[in-house]
């Protein structure tokens, strides 16, 4: 359940505590962070320092407006709030009071042990006095100069809803950014769009066309997030089903770049269910085989569904809960395997691209299949991608130092079967599948 409306940037949500009281929320939060650290997990806090609960000018006086709204909010020449967040108001971090409020809250959470922050609608934070986005603006400079904050993981949702708010690839070098172009290009490729090939190959390779010389880890790669469909719904629905939200199914994105695999919603058809499972594994494999930082939506490893609801933020019910008792053992094991496989991948350099004939290719002109070669010699890994409906025969490249390829993964199956092929040999690639071959010297 992630419905929110910020009223205090310093206080954890009391109902998250075991007894639902404010007195328990903070110490239990600290204990949670400590336990996660003890198990080798970092904590990145999703923070909303771009707006408050007070809404538009006619909204309630329960916070900053009661103090001095002109010292905190973006206000236009007409005296109205600059609603670049879609919530009625937006903080103006060029103003000293607003900037210190945001920085103070971040320092507070850092003192409690969090390892980083993901900033909701982060472009708001970089809007300068003229309203333009400034990657070297006061907020970004203050964070970079703060010894408590500068070493943390800093992740931007690189847009807001105002004019000129979409700024993917323009944040400071030491920030990471949600890469929605990865999401969209992956969805297009895995629903078999002919002209998606080049874009998807660039996303798999680290999105240098977006981030330039920055580290590939600047790209937060994702297919699904708390906004939109879950992964199970992405392969099961083409239309949003948001009637339960009470807005006559008008809310949420109408275009999701999804394909229902032949039937809208749940079905007992075994062929459709098998293909949905294959496409699910291929989406997951894409995330973990791509250069960049993979982000997995909680519950996707369990095949969680929201029954086609792509805007479930306000639901505190089975629609948005993660039911751990309903986990799908086979898929959970598959995700664990992908995590282990990723640790073996040579992702430091961009991969080489090959066509289905085994020859180097720039992948221009469209298509459904290609291969990426990662690393060299005995460390080489070959990934074969087939986003089309048909099975294909793919010629494997023959790089120096490789005498044989052996299969590590085939998303056609829950459990991959062993297979070996000589370099230059032919591999059958099933539709909507990913294969990964490892080199033998």
* Residue-range domain boundaries for the chain: 14-344, 352-440
DSSP of 211-238: HTTS-GGGEEE-S--SSS--HHHHTT-S
Sheet holding 116-119, edge to edge: 44-47, 116-119, 153-156, 176-179, 219-221, 293-294
Q: What does the alpha-carbon distance between residue 408 and residue 419 come to, in Å, rounded to a whole number?
A: 9
Q: How confident is the model at residue 93 (pLDDT cuts 50, 70, 90)?
A: very high
List C-alpha distances in Å: 137 to 102, 116, 121, 127, 163. 14, 20, 16, 8, 18
| pLDDT tens digits, 212-257 | 999 999 999 999 999 999 999 999 999 999 988 888 898 888 899 9
Lookup: tokens for 333: 């094991």
Q: Which fold has domain 14-344?
A: TIM Barrel (3.20.20)
Tell me which H or E stretch contains 144.
Answer: helix 138-145
pLDDT at 427: 98
Please report, rounded to a whole number, the percentage of residues in the chain having pLDDT higher than 90: 87
Please report, rounded to a whole number, the percentage of residues in the chain having pLDDT higher than 70: 99
Q: What does the alpha-carbon distance between residue 398 and residue 357 come to, in Å, rounded to a whole number?
A: 11
Q: How confident is the model at residue 2 (pLDDT cuts 50, 70, 90)?
A: low
| pLDDT tens digits, 286-339 | 999 999 999 999 999 999 999 999 999 888 888 989 988 876 789 999 999 999
Question: With 80 as the cut, is the pLDDT of residue 151 above it?
Answer: yes
Per DSSP bridges, beta strands 293-294 and 44-47 are unpaired
Mean of the per-residue pLDDT values of the chain:
95
> Lowest-confidence range among 93-97, 271-275, 364-368?
364-368
Class of domain 352-440: mainly beta
Within this chain, domains 14-344 and 352-440 share the same CATH topology: no
pLDDT at 324: 85
Lookup: tokens for 240: 């949003």
Question: With 70 as the cut, is the pLDDT of residue 175 above it?
Answer: yes
pLDDT at 110: 98
Residues annotated as catalytic are 120, 157
| pLDDT tens digits, 181-207 | 999 999 999 999 999 999 999 999 999
Question: With 60 as the cut, is the pLDDT of residue 347 above it?
Answer: yes
Nearest to 284 by CA among 350, 235, 353, 356: 235
């Amino acid at each position: 359940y992630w419905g929110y409306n910020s009223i205090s940037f310093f206080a954890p949500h009391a109902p998250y505590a075991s007894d639902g009281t404010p007195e328990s929320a903070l110490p239990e939060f600290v204990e949670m962070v400590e336990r996660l650290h003890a198990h080798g997990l970092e904590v990145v806090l999703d923070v909303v320092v771009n707006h408050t609960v007070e809404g538009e000018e006619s909204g309630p006086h329960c916070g900053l407006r009661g103090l001095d709204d002109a010292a905190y909010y973006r206000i236009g020449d007409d005296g109205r709030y600059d609603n670049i967040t879609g919530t009625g108001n937006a903080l103006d971090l060029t103003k000293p009071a607003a900037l210190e409020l945001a920085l103070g809250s971040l320092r507070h959470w850092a003192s409690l042990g969090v390892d980083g922050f993901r900033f909701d609608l982060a472009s708001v934070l970089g809007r300068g006095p003229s309203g333009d986005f400034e990657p070297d603006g006061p907020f970004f400079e203050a964070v970079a100069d703060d010894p408590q904050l500068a070493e943390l993981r800093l992740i931007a949702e690189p847009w807001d809803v105002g004019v000129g708010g979409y700024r993917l690839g323009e944040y400071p070098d030491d920030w990471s950014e949600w890469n929605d172009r990865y999401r969209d290009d992956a969805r297009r490729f895995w629903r078999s769009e002919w002209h998606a090939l080049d874009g998807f190959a660039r996303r798999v390779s680290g999105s240098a066309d977006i981030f330039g010389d920055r580290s590939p880890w600047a790209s937060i790669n994702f297919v699904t997030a708390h906004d939109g469909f879950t992964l199970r719904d992405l392969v099961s629905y083409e239309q949003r089903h948001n009637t339960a939200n009470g807005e006559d199914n008008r809310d949420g994105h109408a275009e999701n770049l999804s394909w229902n695999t032949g039937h809208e919603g749940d079905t007992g058809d075994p062929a459709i269910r098998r293909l949905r499972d294959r496409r699910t594994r291929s989406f997951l494999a894409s995330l973990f085989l791509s250069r960049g930082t993979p982000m997995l939506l909680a519950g996707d490893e369990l095949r969680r569904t929201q029954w086609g609801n792509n805007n479930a933020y306000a639901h505190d019910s089975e629609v948005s809960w993660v039911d751990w008792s309903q986990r799908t053992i086979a898929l959970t094991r598959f995700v664990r395997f992908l995590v282990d496989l990723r640790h073996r991948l040579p992702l430091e350099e961009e991969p080489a691209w090959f066509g289905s004939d085994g020859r180097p290719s720039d992948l221009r002109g469209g298509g459904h299949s290609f291969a990426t070669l990662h690393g060299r010699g005995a460390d080489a890994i070959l990934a074969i991608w087939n986003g089309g409906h048909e099975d294909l025969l793919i010629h494997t490249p023959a790089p120096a130092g490789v005498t044989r390829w052996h299969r590590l993964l085939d998303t056609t199956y829950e459990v991959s079967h062993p297979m070996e092929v000589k370099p230059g040999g032919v591999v059958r690639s099933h539709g909507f599948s990913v294969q990964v071959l490892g080199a033998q010297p």
